[in-house]
Chain A
Amino acid sequence: MTRYAMVLDKRRCIGCQSCTVACRTWNELPMDIIYNPVVTEGVLGEFPYVHQTFTPLLCMHCDNPPCTICCPCKASQQDDDGIVWVEATKCMGCKVCVNSCPYGARDVNGAEGFVRKCTFCKDRVRENEQPYCVATCHQKARTFGDLDDPESDVSKLVNSLVTERIFVELGTDPQVYYIPDLGGAK
């Protein structure tokens, strides 16, 4: 089996938001939709003893996604490889899934009337390419791959480092892992 997952290295992320812009140009998103914002925490502390971290967000492609079971028209669905996506032609824009997602990872574009969200660039992934946000990251802070393959980079990272996941206590079993940033300048 294949289980796609992403690892984000917060030690390498510099908060440049290239992925945010890249995603919107590659996927030709309307202005009011963002799949992957970067959240800045800080600058915290007292000068000059300060630190700052960046957390790139995206759909967590959960193993137990609340957004698929709640969909009344089966538009919001999950493939066998773990990718959660919305079939635009079936979606009626009721926003139940938008409300159910604890990560705020989906939204309706007013003009189009259906829900849009990150698809791990499944068009690219199925051509054996990286999702566009991974390819475009100058800092190589993003790693994407098959978690079921023990030789893949994501498995190696997840299994060899301490990683964090967001809202894991909600039981969604998110499949986006974060390597925490432990320190800044001396």
Chain B
Amino acid sequence: MSETVDIHAPDVEVKKSCCYFCHQNCGVLAYVRDGKVLKIEGDPTHPTNQGGLCCRGNIALLHLDHPARINHPLKRAGKKGENKWEKVSWDTAIAEIANKLNQIKEESGAEAVATAGGTLRTDDWARRRFMNLFGSPNGFHNALLCWIPTFMVETAVSGWSPFETDLGTSRCVILWGFNPGASAMPGMRGYSDLRKAGLKLIVVDPRYSETAAHADLWLPLRPGSDTALALAMIWVIIYEGHYDQEFVENWCVGFEELQEHIFDYTPEWASEHTWLDPELIREAARMYAKNTPGNIQWGCTADQLGKTSGAGMHARAILRALTGNLDRPGGDLMPGPSHYYVTDEELEANDWLPEEQKARQIGSDHFKLTSWPGYQRIADVSREVWGKAPTAEWMCEAHGPSVFKAILTGDPYQIRAMIVSATNPVNSYGDAKMVLAALKQLEFLVVCEYWMTPAALYADYVMPIAGALERPIVHNNYGVTDSLITSQRAIQPLYERHTDYNFWRDLALASGQDPDQWPWETLEEAFYYVIYSFIENGYQFGSYDEFVEKYRMFYPPLHYYKYGTNGFATPSRRVELKSSVLEELGYPALPTWIGPAENEIDDPEVAKEYPLVLTTGGGFMPYHHSEQFNISSVRFLYPEPYFTINPQKAQELGIKSGDWCWIETRRGRIRQRANVEPSVDARVIYCQRGWWYPERQESLDEEPFGCLESNVNVLTSVDNEHCDPIGGSWANRGLLCKVYKVSYWDDTDTDFSIPGSAAEPGISVPPSKQPLAYEPIPYDPQPGFEVPEGLTWDPNTKLAWNLESGLAYDPESGWLYHPETLVYYDLVTGYAYDPENETLVDEATGQRYNMETREPLESEGAHTADGVVSDVAPGATGEKGE
């Protein structure tokens, strides 16, 4: 049909594949003949994209067999970074990697092996499964910059992250730090359609973005000040009385405390931090609160603000609850984990990781909510209410930057090996210079990749991985939603490429893991296991591929107001505006303002030298993170990096459009070209992310592929005191910087330094000694009653326990009770209370005793211990013997 190939020829098969160059996973039809993909196009019947494909989706065919792709396992032949390789077979490479990992495990413990993952390119439940069975808790992603802390905070507050927006009947949407116009094309189409139908669109973005252009209300705030805006919006909604009183009374706890706590966070107060007119803040709050049902759409910004992130997430969770938008038609839906198919969490085998290994997870002592301590608490409650737990991969991980620091410092212990899969850490993790130094220094590095990236260059083994058209994909939002969309592979992997699932499985078997733990030889078999139970629901299929061809997707019936039956999945079964989970972990129970990592109010000295506010991390077409820079058919659109500066400021600094400029923070500097346009405030600099130059094959020594030259992560900070103590997010936005033109007499840049003053290169304070943004608040609830002798106070359950018998103390009645059967027992003797006969019974012997004197009674013979249980508290009946 195209001028060169006829895709309607009878021997051409149509495969229902999908794009996976971002999280949308748009449907793709692949036309295949003899194992060769002839053409691809958007699938018009796919619910997400309805036939559309963006720049990235359209280059899938060029990606498939690009000359720069890695097609065979490579083993390092020269020195690290020398780019000399020996081709080895897949099995040889796997066997050698497995031996080395086992050796390290033997010598230093399994925790010395870490893995870094990338954004949704992979089936990371398999990676988690491998790591759990291997015994290491140190897997991580860039998850802490992308939704995961938000998910965990919102789940702590309201029992599940309400991340699905029910847009059909919604009346108002806040796109908060989210620019679907450049990063979620299908979503943008939806917003345009709905806005035409009357939807109010509020956009919070410091930059006039593609999305802001379509907004009803655009809030161009100071980068990094989102938390102040959210707090002020709560203030308006509470003190102007726009909240949903019925929902708050019936379903929320902590409202009075919140009301008091929020008192000082007025729009006028927020104005100073956000640079927004207080009236604009009021208008936004009113628009959102009065146009219910409405939504707050999650945006990456929430997770990239550094130390101010956690409070902002908490505040947004409160906004959703105050307006009663949770799980209602048109509101923010809380799907919960799926009961129709096997969730990712169930595939991860988390039970196999020993408790003592969980405790060794790097970063779990500092950033507790997104690592084992917080995850465990949330997963326990979630299992009680939902029946299943959220995915542990992503939600419960080591703190990435801390792992890189551990490689360099051996603090808290030495990380000796890392497997990097689907990520280029030098470009995607904070403090790029530090990451590069860590990768250079690492003892053993394996990289699973498509391309020779800066990270792959320092690897001992580079493994070729199958791409989009070469693998099946199940799209289920990280395993935390109840629907799924499936896609099949168009062709088997080319050359010696394998799916990442096969990489982990092969590695698991080679390193001696039980083959019974890895029963699925291919991804299709694993996915068939995942969806097998659909057959009980009337679906008819005999294989995964058949399901894709016949049904492709699964959407369970939509249920609103699910909290009506079991309550919200929090310890109190209510939306905890004042969060007990956060309180238990040592964090503020109510959202408390703390300024962004660097700001002109708290750090005037820094602001004197670095007067501009930097924002990084925003997505822009045509790239996704650090990808596609080597594909000329998209690179021609944007061959060079640009930062945006306001014309007024540019004139002040003598910068003209297109000038190469240095952008410098306390951690280093990068150069990008100037895009002079009034889309940002005169005090703001917006920098493009992800830049490296794969075409620079020469000069691979210090800074391979120019990976530091224009890389914004040279500017970002991962100092512990800049990270959010709750979720561990580091600071990408709202940093202080300065900008000046590149000239030939420029000095060379400084080395990396932690803490972030370039005066002292390297890590001058060991990570465990680096202060956090704020100290944990000791969680030590005191008993509100006198604990009787012999009982032990437990702050977690807030009860006094008799540890021998496992009975809890009821301070009101002065009796003990069994927490499950609710039978009451005498405090002194331990005999059970029988309300029918007003006697005490020794459950072991069946002997009865007098209530008051505790003297044995004559046995009447008819009563057995079984008949005496009751959940009536002796004090409550009023009949108990005094």
Contacts and interface: CB of A to CB of B under 8 A. Distances in A.
Interface of A: 11-12, 14-18, 20-22, 24-28, 31, 42-48, 50-52, 123-124, 127, 129, 132, 135-140, 184-186
Contact of A124 (B1, B4, B679): B1
A20 B54 CA distance: 10
A114 B188 CA distance: 39
B704 to A, nearest CB: 26
Nearest to B679: A43
B634 interface: yes
Contacts of B681: 47-48
Interface stretch (B44-52, B124-132, B241-249, B477-485): B44-52
A88 to B, nearest CB: 10
B181 interface: yes
B2 A20 contact: no
B173 to A, nearest CB: 14
B41 A132 contact: yes
Contact of B208 (A15, A24, A27, A48): A48
B680 interface: yes
Contacts of A138: 49, 52-54, 185-186, 188-189
Given A21-B634, A31-B636, A136-B42, A43 B678 contact: yes
8 closest cross-chain pairs (CB), A and B: A138-B52, A138-B185, A185-B218, A21-B55, A18-B54, A22-B58, A14-B181, A47-B678
13 contacts: A12-B192, A18-B54, A20-B637, A25-B61, A25-B633, A42-B677, A46-B678, A48-B681, A52-B208, A123-B2, A138-B186, A184-B214, A186-B217
Contacts of B51: 135-136
Contact of A185 (B185, B213, B636): B213
Contacts of A48: 208, 218, 220, 681
Contact of A52 (B2, B42, B213): B213
B55 A47 contact: no
Contact of B210 (A14, A127, A136): A14
B192 A139 contact: yes
A47 B680 contact: yes
Contacts of A44: 678
Contacts of B216: 185-186
A43 to B, nearest CB: 4
A53 B680 CA distance: 17
A48 B681 CA distance: 7
A136 B58 contact: yes
Interface in B203-227: 203, 208, 210, 212-218, 220
Contacts of A31: 632-633, 636
Interface string B772-813: 000000000000000000000000000000000000000000
The interface centre, meaning the residue of B52, B57, B217 with most chain A CB atoms within 10 A of its CB, is B52
A21 to B, nearest CB: 4
Contacts of B55: 16-18, 20-22
B1 A127 contact: yes
A46 B637 CA distance: 26
Contacts of A123: 1-3
Nearest to A15: B210
Contacts of A129: 1
Most buried by B among A31, A50, A185: A185
Nearest to B276: A48
Contacts of B39: 26
A186 B55 CA distance: 30
A28 B678 contact: no
Contacts of B646: 47
